Structure 1
Amino acid sequence: MTEIPDSTPLQASVALHTGRITGEISPLLFGGFAEHMGRCIYEGIYDPESPLSDARGLRPDVMAALKETNYRIMRYPGGNFVSGYRWTDGIGPKAGRPRRRALAWRSIETNQFGPHEFMEFAEELGTEPMWAVNLGTGSIQDAADLVEYMNLPTGTLYSDLRASNGRSEPYGVKYWCLGNEMDGPWQIGQMDAHAYADKAVQAAKLMRWMDPGIKTIACGSSATAMPGYPEWDMTVLSHAYEQIDYFSMHHYAANPYPTISNTDGLPRDTDSYLASSLHFDEHADTLAAAIRVAKAKNRSKRDVFLCWDEWNVWYRAKGGDGEWSEAPHILEEVYNLEDALVVATWLNTFLRKSDVVKIACIAQIVNVIAPIMTRRDGMFRQTIFYPLTLFSRHASGVALDPLVRAPLQPTARYGDVSMLDVSASFDEATGEGATFLVNRSQTRPLRVTLSWEDDTPRALTGAWQMSGPDPLAENSFEMPDAVTAVPITPPVIEGRQVSLTVPPLSFTTLIAQHAPR
């Protein structure tokens, strides 16, 4: 028997039908997270000492890259940081703002970037702000006072205080996180599920009395590896269901696969790592089922959706001790090609689960486990920047349910998995369809036949691909474009289908233009 060489493409197929829909794609799936942590805010977003910064201390080059990604929502100010944060520290004249020890990351918080600075940043970026309230050391009254400060017209104490600080009109913040990771022993003010649910309900109630138009997000388990998962989630959902609109989920992928504490001493397993979306899918399915059970138990007529407000690859730069410095250089993960492919499969999961996952925020946006790295005189885009940007710019309308046939790839963690991970979207308003393909194989190219079962597009109008032989290839200040998504020539439609070869270790985006409806 003749052995097939590794360079011979294996056959795969993807069939699309614009009427076979998973769910409506929320634009808020393409969000970010900016925490007062390391160099995300200071020396990242805000850096008055950089020669590249404007008069406000913002970096125009960083803002341009963030706008390129097209973030639709931005979570702030934490994260673990928020559980010890006094929001009143960050308002008023900068010279009078206190310097405090930020216990979550053992750093010094100068409070030179606070609520007004963040809202100015969000407005310029064109993103929806999502505020987290302190339910660690903070009270439910503190949370309600912040809503008054941000959202209510003048005429009372905190809204008048906002006006005295330079903003007479309300900001109108719609989305509010009820604390952060409150089940974690690392969290300031850790609580059990019942205590957290009680406090979250009372905080949400008081905040809604201040502004009935807000949407609230309750904390789910900090990770699927937590010993309380998914019982914590069931308890909080059952108790808080009528007072919340979204339920938070967090996860960080790793190679090797993470434990709750670390990955030390574990062997790398790239095949399993590239199949991480099976875990992502299962996580979403589990919490979607928990939501259905809680809805039934509460005899509720309202829907609660999932908010994946912390997600990313994170396992190398794990030291979070800032040693009581300002803007410590901590948690500055450097990403490679395989990380970018995992991020692409994660975004595929968001589209596949778009019926229930409605908000997602990559953690974080600059320097700290982020798509962008800066120094005082420049910046570069990490590998994970490219899939995030392509999805954010091209996935809209509804998510389609593709029929995928592909060879199987053996993995140690998940068994046999499809070599090809796929999602697709279709926007009836614009006629644009997008297909996102990840070839998980480290060695085998795939010859993919993409067909349309009902509405063949006029043409493929755009195509991008990132790939390479080395899964550990990465970008740097010296080589900022070593691994990017590059334009490729779109294949020509023949009949109702196109064919193209996708190399091993690759992410491919195809844009199709249908006739307007």
Structure 2
Amino acid sequence: MPDDWLRGLWPLFSPLRRAKPQTAHQISLVLKTKGIALTNRATATVFLNTERRIGEISPLIFGGLAEHMGRCIYEGIYDPASPLADKRGFRSDVLKALKDINYRILRYPGGNFVSGHRWQDGTGPRSERPRRRDLAWRSVETNQFGLHEFMEFAQELGALPMWAVNLGTGSIQDAADLVEYLNLPVGTSFSDLRAKNGQKKPYGVQYFCLGNEMDGPWQLGHLDAVGYADKAREAAKLMKLMDPEIKLVACGSSNTDIATYPEWDRTVLERMGDEIEYFSMHAYAGNRTDDTDSFLASSLHFEDHANTIAAAIRIAKAKNRSKHDVYLSWDEWNVWYKTEGDDGNWQEAPHLIEEVFNLEDALVVAQWLSTFLRKADIIKIACIAQIVNVIAPIMTKEDALFKQTTFYPLMLFSNHAAGHSLDLLVQAPVHDTKMYGGAAQLDASASFDPETGRGALFLVNRSQTQSLDVTLKWEDVAPEGFTQGWQMSGHDPKAHNSFEQPDEVTAHEIELPALEGPQTTLSLPPLSFTVLLSRHAPA
């Protein structure tokens, strides 16, 4: 059926666009009154069993990256000149929006920025902090927001800090000194300096990244796989001598297109896998060729990427005859393709890659989060890059912000996916895509918490034109009922929010389906993301 079939009907729905929420039932009623039968539909079935579990969902997969890049820090989370700033200079409206997303871990201070960063620059009185050239983004760094400010900010959000150490221009001694400054009790040089700077009690930071994207020639201090692994191994040794309780993340490949992928990953894991707890993955998805069907099948690539690095972990473990487990930290991920440029022209807080996200971008973000659930046995940390302004779910100006389309899947997953990820059996129509071959029309993931009896189901209808009637069948014990549901959808994959129209694409509550024994059916409109919460009897 041609793509313009639904577009031709869209004027009939104008009352529904003004009166939200839109439901498939309402749309059907409009069509019936016009004498039109809604025939462009397909069916799918999802089989659920609360005992068939993939793994425990780590809350740390709901994390973010706060990098000194563009306007993420300055004019983003920290903006003393804004009328919305609190006495610390933190934007109160940004804090509220970030708390709504419910981030559990924040990676800082980069990103590429970290490979030239001197952590000491962000300590001590602000009036004495140096202004430096940030060579990564060709910007001027004022260091008015630094180590102590970030720790206070993370604590305000209730998020664990994950510090990236400079293994580009920095030394292994610098990395060890940072651990001493952050985590050791007073009595030695750097811990005493922390106390002098106003924080006597150790911060107790648990998570540290051993550099950033060291496989990339663009990285300051770039190393090959052997050189990086050897430097990171020695840094890890010193850092854990300072604090044996810390958990370390080594650099994996920066993307799947770089020539050294996945050999880089195998080499690093074989040479230093026993020294780390996590291994990083980075990836950005895009739709540069305007091939929406392929773009909406991106989760096939995400899963292949995760499977490849998980295999590299297993190979390295077997080759080294190791009993040590390493998990994945997907600590940079997002959609990014509309904006280019990394040249700040030596300005403070330049406008860099301030992407405007649309409906199809949000559907890809939802699928990425579902991938984390489907790989819950191996992916234990994930950080969307970034959290404000720079390819971010929140955009600010001096006196306002708006929430991008990607805000809503982040918020819904983070607040409702908990407990165990369920291994679903999905039967759905398959359509061909140019990039990934056959892709099921339905992308699905689910969580279940046996302690609370709460379940959550996350569904994306990838089709641009075809509704999908989905039957949910519980194979063990059906829920007692449904408690809430949300949906975001639209006819235009390019629809987006803005300061002028902040609610053009949002998630709205939907009418809950009725249970009929162990099953129910709900209708998913084209280009839609749906969340359904269920209530089971607690164990």
TM-score class, shorter: over 0.9
User: Partner of 2:373 in structure 1?
Assistant: 351
Question: How far did 1:321 drift?
Answer: 0.6
1:131 and 2:163 aligned: yes
User: Partner of 1:14 in structure 2?
Assistant: 46
Look up the equivalent residue of 1:141 and give its one-letter code. Answer: Q
1:294 and 2:316 aligned: yes
User: Partner of 1:450 in structure 2?
Assistant: 472
Match for 1:378 among 400, 407, 419?
A: 400
Q: Which runs of 5+ in 2 are unaligned?
A: 6-35
User: Partner of 1:259 in structure 2?
Assistant: none
User: Partner of 2:32 in structure 1?
Assistant: none
Q: Matched residue of 1:234: which SS?
A: helix
Q: Which runs of 5+ in 1 are unaligned?
A: 257-266
Q: Distance in 2 between matches of 1:68 and 1:457?
A: 27
Q: How does 1:153-192 map onto structure 2 within 5 Å?
A: 153-192=185-224
Match for 2:424 among 395, 398, 402?
A: 402
User: Partner of 2:303 in structure 1?
Assistant: 281
Q: Distance in 1 between matches of 2:502 and 2:320?
A: 52
Q: CA, structure 1 residues 495+245, in 2 after alignment: closer, same or farther (shift >3 Å)? A: same
Match for 1:52 among 84, 91, 111?
A: 84
Look up the equivalent residue of 1:369 and give its one-letter code. Answer: I
Q: CA, structure 1 residues 7+172, in 2 after alignment: closer, same or farther (shift >3 Å)? A: farther
Q: Distance in 2 between matches of 1:284 and 1:22?
A: 15
Q: Distance in 1 between matches of 2:110 and 2:42?
A: 45
1:99 and 2:131 aligned: yes
Q: Distance in 2 between matches of 1:490 and 1:240?
A: 51
Identical positions, percent: 68
Q: Matched residue of 1:11: which SS?
A: strand
User: Partner of 2:17 in structure 1?
Assistant: none
CA contact (8 A) 1:204 1:216 kept: yes
Question: How far did 1:6 drift?
Answer: 7.2
1:35 and 2:67 aligned: yes
Question: How far did 1:157 drift?
Answer: 0.3
TM-score normalised by the chain length of structure 2: 0.93
Question: How far did 1:15 drift?
Answer: 0.7
Q: Distance in 2 between matches of 1:309 and 1:326?
A: 26
Please list the CA deviations of residues 188-236 of structure 1 after superposition, one character each: whole Å capped at 9, or x if unmatched: 0000000000000000010000000000000001100010000000000
CA contact (8 A) 1:7 1:444 kept: no
1:365 and 2:387 aligned: yes
Match for 2:244 among 207, 212, 216?
A: 212
User: Partner of 1:243 in structure 2?
Assistant: 275
1:514 and 2:536 aligned: yes
Aligned residues: 505
CA contact (8 A) 1:6 1:443 kept: no
Look up the equivalent residue of 1:327 and give its one-letter code. Answer: A
Q: Matched residue of 2:47: which SS?
A: strand
Look up the equivalent residue of 2:158 and give its one-letter code. Answer: G
Q: Distance in 2 between matches of 1:244 and 1:163?
A: 29
Query: Which deviates more from structure 2 when the two are superposed, residues 112-121 or residues 410-419?
Result: 410-419
CA contact (8 A) 1:9 1:501 kept: no
Q: Matched residue of 2:381: which SS?
A: strand
Question: How far did 1:492 drift?
Answer: 1.1
User: Partner of 2:511 in structure 1?
Assistant: 489
Please list the CA deviations of residues 133-183 of structure 1 after superposition, one character each: whole Å capped at 9, or x if unmatched: 000000000000000000000000000000000000000000000000001
Q: Distance in 2 between matches of 1:298 and 1:175?
A: 25
Question: How far did 1:316 drift?
Answer: 1.1
1:116 and 2:142 aligned: no
Look up the equivalent residue of 2:361 and give its one-letter code. Answer: D
User: Partner of 2:118 in structure 1?
Assistant: 86
Q: CA, structure 1 residues 276+69, in 2 after alignment: closer, same or farther (shift >3 Å)? A: same
Question: How far did 1:430 drift?
Answer: 1.0
Q: Distance in 2 between matches of 1:119 and 1:227?
A: 37
Q: Distance in 2 between matches of 1:61 and 1:132?
A: 27
Q: CA, structure 1 residues 252+97, in 2 after alignment: closer, same or farther (shift >3 Å)? A: same
Look up the equivalent residue of 2:444 and give its one-letter code. Answer: V
Please list the CA deviations of residues 45-89 of structure 1 after superposition, one character each: whole Å capped at 9, or x if unmatched: 000000110111001110000000000000000000000000101
Q: Distance in 2 between matches of 1:204 and 1:426?
A: 36
User: Partner of 2:172 in structure 1?
Assistant: 140
Look up the equivalent residue of 2:426 and give its one-letter code. Answer: V
Q: Matched residue of 1:511: which SS?
A: strand
Q: Distance in 1 between matches of 2:290 and 2:75?
A: 33
CA contact (8 A) 1:422 1:438 kept: yes
